[in-house]
Amino acid sequence: MAVTRRQFTSRAVAGALSTAAAATLTACGNKAASGGGTSTGTSGGPSAGAGGGGGGTTAKAGKNILIGMNSGLVPQFQRYAADFQKAETGFNVTVKPVPDAQADYIQQLVTQGLSRSLPDIIFNYDALNQTLNASHLLYDLKPWLDSGHDGLRGSAFEANFLNQYRVGNAVTGIPVSADASILYFNKTLLKKYGVTTMPTDTWTYDDLYRVAAEITNKSGGKTYGLGTPIGDGSGVFLFYPMLRAFGSNLYDPATKKFTFANAGGIQAWTTLLKPYVDKFGTPYSTKDQSNNFPGRVAAMVVDTRPDIARFRTALTDDWDVVPMPTMNGKSTTGGGSYSLSVSARSGNKEGAYRFMAWFYSNAGGFKAAEPDGVVPATAAGLASGSWLTDKHPVPANLIPTTKYAVKNAILPDPVPDAVQPKVVPALQKALQQVVLQHQSVQSAYGAAQDSLNALIK
């Protein structure tokens, strides 16, 4: 099963982070915290920030590699590991699942760091990167990427996606897939409830909400017209483009202030919360958002391309995809990625990087991963990857939709490293105050903005 960013992100991060950061700082000592990390186990090299840096080492790659992977991606990575072992004889790669809840995952990594049992390769993603780095769990790959170590070069990757894993001068993750949001729709359900004109690439949010409300009303609530896109508020890629469409932003680097509760921001949040407030989208109490589409709970959902494989297996109805609807004539396509990172405390960084060099090659892991919906975040992968020749008849509009989504994805600007772990919890609290406690959007999000700006030093 594919994994979505929304599935992985927890509603309870802040408490675990303070404990995690304190424990890891103690474990790593002053050298890692100040960018003076040294070699560990079989992988040495000069530090370049973020838990020590790669490159410049003569250490040999150890043959045993442990990968900690989100549970939904474990079957895929077990296949990739088997392919790697065929290509690189003598290696033994083990893939183990990690907790889905972010707070539990961070706590596990910290505990494993203290006992030196961390995986060599860590599952990571754009909105989590700064949090893991703040806990000194990630190894800086920039020197190796700059030098082309093991044939893997940073210049091969699309800068906007690789930049999501930059913290200061360090690069602490390498994106696996250029993910972007698209609109899935169940043609069978739409027709059942009287919708004769299917979604198109010219749809606006007014069109989306109008049809969604029609379906919810005509079904008597048995089928929701839309899986409420914002979910629990944890997926930055789900709300950030809407802020931009209304002329707002999450954080303004020019003024060094959070600005998401300005006039445009309030309009954006009001629009995003409308399916909850007007009750035509799946309710906030829906815990398993991943079942909305294959379970026929909702006729339309916003999701990313990697879930294609799962939907093809689980859904027998007629369905298709289109680009995200526009707002105010602007794209609302969100973009992001998940990545592989090397553990700062791994004793086999060279072996981990050897696997990653194979995985990110067009003839290696990328070739094996593209049938799983992966669109490589490299110039070559976007221009000529095998995803462009997908022969599966469903969904019929997949390739043009993916091309549009990747090209028009709105990627979030970075926020200050020290404050980043607090952003999603603050926004989730505001969402809950509006949806569950019936506070005004202005009051809830205004308070969230004030609380985050107070943390900026």
DSSP codes, 278-329 = TT-B--TT---GGGTTTTTSBSEEEEEGGGHHHHHHH--S-EEEEPPPBBTT
Taking CA atoms, 410 is separated from 34, 173, 257, in Å, by 33, 20, 20
**What is the residue extent of each domain of the chain?**
5-178+337-384, 179-335+411-453
What single-letter DSSP state applies at residue 13?
-
How would you list the strands of the sheet with 338-342, edge to edge? Answer: 92-98, 64-70, 121-125, 338-342, 174-175
Mean pLDDT rounded to a whole number for the chain = 86
Partners of 170 in the beta sheet? 167
* Residue 150: both structure tokens together: 């093991």
| Conformation bin of residue 80: beta by default, left when phi > 0, alpha when psi is -120 to 50 | alpha
What is the predicted pLDDT for the residue at 29? 32
- Determine whether 41 is exposed, middle or buried from the number of CB atoms within 10 Å of its CB (0-12, 13-18, 19+): middle
Same fold, 5-178+337-384 and 179-335+411-453: yes
Stretch 211-227: mean pLDDT, rounded?
97
Note the pLDDT tens digit of each residue in 30-84. Answer: 333 223 333 333 333 333 334 445 544 446 789 999 999 998 899 999 999 999 9
What is the predicted pLDDT for the residue at 187? 98
What is the predicted pLDDT for the residue at 59? 65
**Strands 92-98 and 64-70, how do they pair?**
parallel
Note the pLDDT tens digit of each residue in 157-212. Answer: 988 899 999 988 999 999 998 889 999 999 999 999 999 999 999 999 999 999 99
Lowest mean pLDDT across 100-104, 278-282, 311-315, 412-416: 100-104
What is the predicted pLDDT for the residue at 336? 87
- Determine whether 196 is exposed, middle or buried from the number of CB atoms within 10 Å of its CB (0-12, 13-18, 19+): exposed
> What CATH number has the domain spanning 179-335+411-453?
3.40.190.10
pLDDT-based confidence at 100, cuts 50/70/90? confident
Q: pTM for the full model? A: 0.78
User: Which CATH architecture is the domain 5-178+337-384 placed in?
Assistant: 3-Layer(aba) Sandwich (3.40)
Taking CA atoms, 378 is separated from 127, 136, 154, 160, 362, in Å, by 20, 27, 9, 10, 10
What is the predicted pLDDT for the residue at 131? 84
Closest CA to 161 of 412, 448, 415, 431: 412
pLDDT-based confidence at 256, cuts 50/70/90? very high
